[in-house]
Amino acid sequence: MALKPAEDDPQQLILGCYECHSETAELSLQSDLGLNLGDTVDLLERSCSTEFSSQQQILTIQPWKIASFKVIPTINPRLE
């Protein structure tokens, strides 16, 4: 997994991961920092359609697939 600032907005984060064991995997994010999974993005960080359920915060990753998505803070630090 890799966590990096977004190219177009350094205040946003992009989480990238891949499945390397040739089996379907489920990914969920549990954060003490108030972070949630956001939109799935492609390698150029453009939003793309997916079967991801933002309500359940679970993402299914198919074998050998690379998955990237935005990580959204539940509290906006700019407003504090």
pTM of the full structure = 0.76
Report whether 69 contacts 41 (CB < 8 A).
yes
What local confidence, expressed as pLDDT, does residue 68 receive? 92
79: pLDDT strictly greater than 80: no
59: pLDDT strictly greater than 70: yes
Question: What are the residues whose beta carbons fall under 8 Å from the beta carbon of 21, sequence distance 6 or more?
Answer: 63
How far apart CA 54 and CA 45 sit, in angstroms, is 18
How far apart CA 42 and CA 18 sit, in angstroms, is 13
Q: What is the mean pLDDT of the chain?
A: 83
Match 């993005």 to its residue by tokens: 41
The proportion of the chain whose per-residue pLDDT surpasses 90, expressed as a percent, equals 32
| Token pair in block for residue 5 | 């600032």
